[in-house]
A and B are shown apart, each in its own frame.
Chain A
Amino acid sequence: GAVVSQHPSWVICKSGTSVKIECRSLDFQATTMFWYRQFPKQSLMLMATSNEGSKATYEQGVEKDKFLINHASLTLSTLTVTSAHPEDSSFYICSAQDRPKGETQYFGPGTRLLVL
């Protein structure tokens, strides 16, 4: 149980285009979902926390208008990278909690974004 999927698993896009990444909890309802970014050979950096039906909370230094997060249902959160640039190329990973402030975050398999 507690499976989280992401789609797509990898995407290549041209600079200036927007890319949407989906994060789904497959067998549980996720009250809270998290979006992380991981550069090669580095740790995960939390970008934002999203709660179903409310606005996402962004970490310091993360541009809200560039990384749009929508948590429209208890099983789906989306991250849209708007007007992508090569420096946005990274590995994006989502995670989900099955209850508020629950002790476990379940992670998705990640989405690799390459912006040309």
Chain B
Amino acid sequence: GEDVEQSLFLSVREGDSSVINCTYTDSSSTYLYWYKQEPGAGLQLLTYIFSNMDMKQDQRLTVLLNKKDKHLSLRIADTQTGDSAIYFCADSGFGNEKLTFGTGTRLTIIP
């Protein structure tokens, strides 16, 4: 089946940029997503990218997609304490029938 992998932890100093990486195996994925989960809460959709795009920017967020290497990244510029959370990448597979989530990356902000 499909597999989505992420590193488990990332620590970044406040004000620096955070880059969270994700690799996936399903080459037929139509969309790839980034979700944010704060403690005890559900998932907040941050952004998503269509598979025929290389990059998408939305305010402080930049998504890069390397379809050849099946690599997705999320860059958060000017990281703030409120960005502390777990970040999940997910892929839709072909046809958007269901999402496969990565393991999640816990982002910790160092003051």
Contacts and interface: CB of A to CB of B under 8 A. Distances in A.
B43 A101 contact: no
Contacts of A42: 103-104
A4 B44 CA distance: 11
A85 interface: no
6 contacts: A49-B98, A95-B43, A101-B96, A101-B97, A104-B45, A107-B45
A49 B95 CA distance: 14
Interface of A: 4, 6, 34, 42-44, 46, 49, 93, 95, 97, 101-110, 112
A71 to B, nearest CB: 15
Contacts of A110: 40-42
Interface of B: 30-31, 35, 40-45, 48, 50, 88, 92, 95-104
For the complex, would chain B's binding face be called helix, strand, loop or mixed by DSSP majority? loop
A107 B90 CA distance: 13
A103 B101 contact: no
For the complex, would chain A's binding face be called helix, strand, loop or mixed by DSSP majority? strand
B42 A34 contact: no
B40 to A, nearest CB: 7
Contacts of B50: 103
B96 A93 contact: no
**Most-contacted residue by chain B among A4, A106, A107, A108 (CB, 10 A):** A107
